[in-house]
Structure 1
Amino acid sequence: MNRRLDLVEKVIFDGYDFGILLQYVEGANRLFLERDGFYIRRAEHPLHRYWRLPKGKLLDDLDLLFHRLMELTENRFNESWQTFSAKLAAAQRAPDRQAFIWGLTLRIAPLAKGGILLSGDYHPGAVAVSRRMHGIFLGQSKSWRIDASTELVRSNLILELGLSEDQFEILDTVQELLTDGSIVPADEITRINLGGPPQERAAQPGNEDVSTDVYLAAVPSIERTEFTTEQIDQALAGHSLLGHQPAGIRHLLQRTSALLADDMGLGKTRQAIIAAAVRAADRPILVITLSTLIINWQREIQMVYPDAKICQQAFDPASQWIITNYERLGDFVLQAGHFEVMIIDEAHRLKEPTAAWTRHGFDIAAKVPNRYLLTGTPVLNRESELHTLLRLSGHPVGKLSLKEFCEQFAGSQDFRKNLRDAIGDWMLRRRKDVLPGLKGKQRQTLPVELSLEERREYDRIRLEDRPSLARLGSLRQLLEQVKVRVVMELLCELDAEDKVILFCEFKDTVGTLRAQCEHADYGCVTVAGSDSVGKRQKAIDKFQSDPDTRIFAATTSAAGTGNNLTAANYVMFLGLPWTPGLQDQAEDRAYRNGQLRMVVVKIPLVENTIDQMLWQMLLDKRQLASDLIEPDAAANARAELSASL
């Protein structure tokens, strides 16, 4: 009864990876992680609590691993080198090829010029099959291009891994090549230079089997619909709309795909809901948005159509409205043909063609006849970001390869004018001056001086022997903490009826602000990325409705998009986002329809620091975006922003 337990309970092997089940040993996880190990945490997994380790990584220094394990156990378990190595050898003699295929899903899609594209969950056996079939690994999208038929590839994978038929997603949407035409930032955009010691650049792997090609599903071309202006006006007769909104609804309804790029706060959601309902005529509608905005979308739909059947995050054939977020798009690829209309909210999220949700978005769009794109910031950093949205819509300009697109439309003001002319019928953009009730927005920068101690700390971080991105992040976090004292002084100057949104880039700053506001007896709510959707909504509702809750402190990534915070008439940035579009999105949580007061935006900038470089970079990017989407306001915007420095 006093016999010591074996350290290793069980070992399995599938020909590629080992699975090891052992007693808990404090510190053992670090040893396994150093060898690219993966701990299986999911309770429903057949190998729950096993460590999965690649064969090569485990066997290369097995004796060293064993002795380090034994040091950690302090002789508490019954295990010797002979028993330990014998268990691994026994597993190798009787491999179980299906050991790690539980939950594995692979996706096969046809290519326009023959062959297939293989992607999905990682398994070394799938990599081995792809290599044997002379596949080319597409590093950007983590998929394999294989010159073979779907059936042959699937058969080989089944033979190798013992997969079942239902572990494959077989798509019939043809994938087209999108060449890698990404461009370096224009010279006219300010770069941030920290100085300090030079950092070695990582060497690029020279692998002949790796390609930068990107493939996305072929989407139908944009077509004009049968709707006349008279028919649309008749359909809108029962709706209460602002003066500019019927034109936005007509823009969507008269095309099978279009971009509604109205300034934030002009009601893009309401316009898209009505257009989709008219177009769908009781057929299903898929809404894609940020996870934090799902509740907002449900509320907006119910305000227009109180009896609407709405489902969140799942496919329900009995519901007309299905709302999901970008991360869950893969769950809807096989049901794509079910939908009549696809609404893509915050569509600029699809700017990166190599992202998994972009690939899934294209797979769905290829099957949905009507695709409505919504974003107030179609361009965040450079012209090429529009290419993915144009391609998703089926616009002729989107049919160009990314390389051709960049050659024709990117890099100069004249090229941007050509692009603006080419997409004028596809993109509808209105500014906030269409809302006569808005009192305006005023942006003010405030100079901040570092104390001697703060300057020493700033320079210490700036000159550290660390990669520039790591130093940059630490410097931004330091400057946010410096600005806390500045913002607290500004709060003392406000009137009792004023409400303020405080935007930060770091969660720790939000916590500092909450503590300071509580100490000063200011009613304060906070939102950070780790908060649940329900918790965020409660904070928003309290800020909007409770007169004693005057401060809303949040990270820009968590609360800078989609939410209605019109109770605030001040917005302050302790840290700036990387693009002017994200800055505008954040500011316009307050400056939108329903705002009855002038909105004042205060931006403290610390003298002689990266703050000023980042601000200038935002001015440069704002000019580029203005050339494309607001040419008439471009010169005025730059002059106004420059004057605020």
Structure 2
Amino acid sequence: MKRPRLLNSQPVLLEAAVFDGYDMGILMPYIEGANKVMFARSGFFIRRGDHPLCRYWRVPKAKFIDELDLVYHQLIELAGGKVTESWQAFRQKIESALANPRRDAFISGMLLRIAPLADGGVLLSGDYHPGVVAVARRMRGVFLGKSSSWRVNATAEILRSNLVLELGLVEDQFEILDVVQELLGDGSVTPAADIPRISLGGAPQEPSTAASGEESSNDIYLAAVSPIERTEFSDATIAQALVGYSLLDHQPAGIAHLLQRTSALLADDMGLGKTRQAIIAAHISAAGRPILVVTLSSLLINWQREILAVYPDATVAVQKHDPLVQWMLINYERLGDYVLLAEHYHVLVVDEAHQLKEPTAERTRHGFDIAAKVPNRYLLTGTPVLNRETELHTLLRLSGHPVGQLPLSDFCERFAGSPEFRQNLRAELGDWMLRRRKDVLPGLKGKHRQLLPVAMGVEERKKYDSIRLEDRPIFARLGALRHYLEQVKVRVAMDLLGELDPEDKVILFCEFKPTVARLKELCDVAGIGNVTLVGSDTLTKRQKAIDKFQGDPDCRAFICTTQAAGTGNNLTAANYVFFLGLPWTPGQQDQAEDRAYRNGQLRTVIVKIPLVENSIDQQLWQMLLAKRQVSLELIEPEEQQDALAKAILAATINQ
């Protein structure tokens, strides 16, 4: 007996909904014109009969959810009464899908290809999925538009494991090629054996390696830079040239180190006057010819002041080319504008040179284009290694050092991965890199770090765990947790501020701008004079904040983000430094601390680091300690490494 037909029943608007963490899957009856609603939101109709979600519309979550009520009313209007569904029922089905994601919803039939690259790393290509893009970005991949693929600096096994964990893919959805591929200058791919080398003159060029700060890259070759050569400046000539200068005892050797080589790295610890040494060396070397200085935008005014302090009659231009001036100051974002002007300059000074550590970044390519045309290249950075050994490879190559001419795979095989290999690299750097620590300043007081354990309350722990267990990609949760922990530590920072003496001043470093705003609000209420500095501030506003903190005794708190204020600025009025959030690398942490701990500081600097117990804070701190050991082994003399490691531990007090 057949089931009786319900003549008055109407189909519902939303038959089913799924969510995979990135896209929504929407199943609904045929409604004339509904396709336009979906297409307008980048929707895609799944027609494949073998797909488990055949007849579903696949729509990016953000484009669908942000206008959910509008989508509902548009569809209801198009249906003209032929379907039924209340707004509440429609929304409830969507919310249920969001709360119960199926990560494998749209992976049916997906195929991905992973191929080894000649210079190390792998090339990932195949079917598009936003989860694949997310994994590639998290692994610091570079998208190569010409070949529609991602270059990832990892092994095929690690990349495949990350994709399986993220999307639930199975082994037969991967094709692992054993033919080594190589990238051409336009970003296209070819088997390595078939490639003709490209040369623009000079020494043969090597293809750069993957790393990434840039979303995409089509030109992965770097201009050939001339090899380092010794100059004609003798010790006696330099000593005579420095007569009349007011210099600290260690600074003549730094000036000589730059002058006696066509390219070198001055890696003095922060606060030892690298800027002053480079200005004098560039002036002597240029002998009246033009000098190009590249630095961070926040340091342009500081460089201008330093040049005029040494040479009051100097002609200086900032950010605008003037062929009549000797000193041209630009930031990294302007490098591309000076490639065609590079032959005009006799000396190139690259301040904070670790900014050029990523070989596929656009700024690095422009930096090489300029360096290839300038005969003298001085690199300055107190943190030549932020994370790993390979960061030195690009700086060596930019200088024209023989080790920098090695392909990255050979460089890593010889110098990366173990303390012994890093010692070998340290020996190779001896003549190129000069590094002195702050113990050359006998008048400088000490610096002490204090770790402060912070316990979360019951409600704070619940909030922390709810963020930690959210169904979001791991990096999104990690960022949200770091932001929340900063908020937790605001009360700790205010308690610490209340304990300081009236003559004490403090720098408060945050990772997130809302924390800066909240601290300022609380300091204003408490009557604590303060200034702030964040990345969106203009150069004028930045300098006014620095000058006020340095010169006004009633301005006691400098509240800032590490990214905006952690490099280059002189904040020696502060004798306390608080970190509400830790940066990702020990180099960034040291740079930030040493805004206060540098030449001109007359008091002991106390660095307070609150760490929330049983949280990612403690894991990040351990990661920083491990990275710090790599840096010590690379840039410090072997005989000093044990003593420095012990000194760092001794200066870190758990309270």
Same fold by TM-score greater than 0.5: yes
Amino acid across the alignment from 1:485: R
Q: 2:186: which partner in 1?
A: 144
Aligned: 1:620 with 2:649: no
Shift of 1:613: 0.2
Amino acid across the alignment from 2:209: D
Determine which of 577, 586, 590 is the counterpart of 1:580: 586
Distance 1:471 1:289 in 2: 33
Contact kept? 2:211, 2:360, Cα under 8 Å: no
Instruction: Classify 1:181/1:312 alpha carbon distance in 2 versus 1 (closer, same or farther; 3 Å).
Output: closer
Instruction: Classify 1:435/1:642 alpha carbon distance in 2 versus 1 (closer, same or farther; 3 Å).
Output: closer
Amino acid across the alignment from 1:178: P
Cα shift readout 1:432-456 (whole Å, capped 9, x = no counterpart): 0001110111111111000001000
Distance 1:298 1:526 in 2: 23
Q: 1:177: which partner in 2?
A: 206
Name the SS of the counterpart of 2:186 in structure 1.
strand
Q: 2:249: which partner in 1?
A: 243
Shift of 1:622: 0.3
Q: Counterparts in 2 of 1:81-120, with a 5 A limit?
A: none
Contact kept? 2:202, 2:226, Cα under 8 Å: no
Determine which of 302, 309, 312 is the counterpart of 2:308: 302
Instruction: Classify 1:642/1:608 alpha carbon distance in 2 versus 1 (closer, same or farther; 3 Å).
Output: farther
- Unaligned segments of structure 1, at least 5 residues: 1-27, 36-66, 75-133, 148-169, 184-209
Instruction: Classify 1:640/1:246 alpha carbon distance in 2 versus 1 (closer, same or farther; 3 Å).
Output: closer
Contact kept? 2:315, 2:326, Cα under 8 Å: yes
Shift of 1:636: 3.6
Name the SS of the counterpart of 1:216 in structure 2.
coil
Aligned: 1:634 with 2:638: no
Amino acid across the alignment from 1:177: E
Aligned: 1:275 with 2:281: yes
Distance 1:395 1:463 in 2: 48
Instruction: Classify 1:212/1:361 alpha carbon distance in 2 versus 1 (closer, same or farther; 3 Å).
Output: closer
Cα shift readout 1:230-271 (whole Å, capped 9, x = no counterpart): 111111102110000000000000000000000000000000
Contact kept? 1:333, 1:360, Cα under 8 Å: yes
Name the SS of the counterpart of 1:307 in structure 2.
coil
Distance 1:607 1:302 in 2: 49
Q: Counterparts in 2 of 1:186-335, with a 5 A limit?
A: 214-335=220-341
Distance 1:526 1:427 in 2: 35
Determine which of 427, 430, 446 is the counterpart of 2:433: 427
Cα shift readout 1:191-219 (whole Å, capped 9, x = no counterpart): xxxxxxxxxxxxxxxxxxx9999311000
Q: 1:341: which partner in 2?
A: 347
Amino acid across the alignment from 2:627: K
Distance 1:326 1:541 in 2: 24
Name the SS of the counterpart of 1:176 in structure 2.
coil
Instruction: Classify 1:181/1:481 alpha carbon distance in 2 versus 1 (closer, same or farther; 3 Å).
Output: closer
Name the SS of the counterpart of 1:323 in structure 2.
strand
Distance 1:635 1:360 in 2: 39
Shift of 1:32: 7.2
Q: 1:22: which partner in 2?
A: none
Distance 2:499 2:426 in 1: 44
Cα shift readout 1:3-54 (whole Å, capped 9, x = no counterpart): xxxxxxxxxxxxxxxxxxxxxxxxx9x997859xxxxxxxxxxxxxxxxxxx
Distance 2:473 2:531 in 1: 35
Instruction: Classify 1:138/1:358 alpha carbon distance in 2 versus 1 (closer, same or farther; 3 Å).
Output: farther
Amino acid across the alignment from 2:207: L
- TM-score norm. by structure 1 comes to 0.70
Contact kept? 2:295, 2:329, Cα under 8 Å: yes
Greater displacement, 624-633 / 252-261 = 624-633
Contact kept? 1:560, 1:585, Cα under 8 Å: yes
Instruction: Classify 1:32/1:420 alpha carbon distance in 2 versus 1 (closer, same or farther; 3 Å).
Output: farther
Distance 1:513 1:530 in 2: 17
Determine which of 527, 547, 563 is the counterpart of 2:533: 527
Contact kept? 1:174, 1:217, Cα under 8 Å: no
Distance 1:291 1:475 in 2: 30
Contact kept? 1:439, 1:596, Cα under 8 Å: yes
Determine which of 474, 483, 488 is the counterpart of 2:494: 488
Distance 2:260 2:386 in 1: 27
Contact kept? 2:187, 2:218, Cα under 8 Å: no
Amino acid across the alignment from 1:635: D
| Count of residue pairs brought into register by the alignment | 482
Distance 1:580 1:323 in 2: 28
Shift of 1:576: 0.4
Contact kept? 1:180, 1:212, Cα under 8 Å: no
Shift of 1:530: 1.1
Contact kept? 2:225, 2:372, Cα under 8 Å: yes
Shift of 1:634: 2.9
Distance 2:385 2:398 in 1: 15
Name the SS of the counterpart of 1:180 in structure 2.
coil
Q: 2:115: which partner in 1?
A: none
Cα shift readout 1:487-516 (whole Å, capped 9, x = no counterpart): 111111111100000000000000000001
Cα shift readout 1:385-442 (whole Å, capped 9, x = no counterpart): 0000000000010010111100100000000000000111000000000011101111
Instruction: Classify 1:145/1:526 alpha carbon distance in 2 versus 1 (closer, same or farther; 3 Å).
Output: closer
Name the SS of the counterpart of 1:311 in structure 2.
strand
Distance 1:576 1:142 in 2: 39
Contact kept? 1:268, 1:374, Cα under 8 Å: yes
Q: Percentage identity across aligned positions? A: 66
Q: 2:196: which partner in 1?
A: none
Contact kept? 1:571, 1:599, Cα under 8 Å: yes
Distance 1:233 1:602 in 2: 43
Cα shift readout 1:456-486 (whole Å, capped 9, x = no counterpart): 0000000110011110111001110111101
Distance 2:266 2:461 in 1: 46
Shift of 1:639: 3.8
Q: Counterparts in 2 of 1:549-560, with a 5 A limit?
A: 549-560=555-566
Determine which of 496, 503, 516 is the counterpart of 2:522: 516
Distance 1:562 1:135 in 2: 38
Amino acid across the alignment from 2:495: E
Distance 1:214 1:138 in 2: 14
Aligned: 1:498 with 2:504: yes
Determine which of 467, 481, 487 is the counterpart of 1:475: 481
Cα shift readout 1:518-539 (whole Å, capped 9, x = no counterpart): 0110001000111111111100
Distance 2:423 2:453 in 1: 36
Distance 1:471 1:356 in 2: 29
Q: 2:457: which partner in 1?
A: 451
Distance 1:173 1:425 in 2: 24
Cα shift readout 1:88-120 (whole Å, capped 9, x = no counterpart): xxxxxxxxxxxxxxxxxxxxxxxxxxxxxxxxx
Instruction: Classify 1:142/1:554 alpha carbon distance in 2 versus 1 (closer, same or farther; 3 Å).
Output: farther
Name the SS of the counterpart of 1:534 in structure 2.
helix
- TM-score norm. by structure 2 comes to 0.69
Determine which of 452, 472, 476 is the counterpart of 1:466: 472
Distance 1:485 1:574 in 2: 10
Distance 1:217 1:174 in 2: 9
Q: 2:405: which partner in 1?
A: 399
Distance 2:380 2:386 in 1: 14
Shift of 1:176: 1.8
Cα shift readout 1:333-357 (whole Å, capped 9, x = no counterpart): 0011111000000000011001000
Shift of 1:635: 2.6
Shift of 1:138: 8.5
Distance 1:287 1:33 in 2: 47
Determine which of 394, 417, 442 is the counterpart of 1:436: 442
Instruction: Classify 1:270/1:484 alpha carbon distance in 2 versus 1 (closer, same or farther; 3 Å).
Output: same
Amino acid across the alignment from 1:456: K
Amino acid across the alignment from 2:592: A
Distance 1:578 1:142 in 2: 33
Determine which of 517, 542, 546 is the counterpart of 1:540: 546
Q: Counterparts in 2 of 1:381-400, with a 5 A limit?
A: 381-400=387-406
Shift of 1:640: 4.7
- Unaligned segments of structure 2, at least 5 residues: 1-35, 44-69, 78-144, 152-182, 190-198
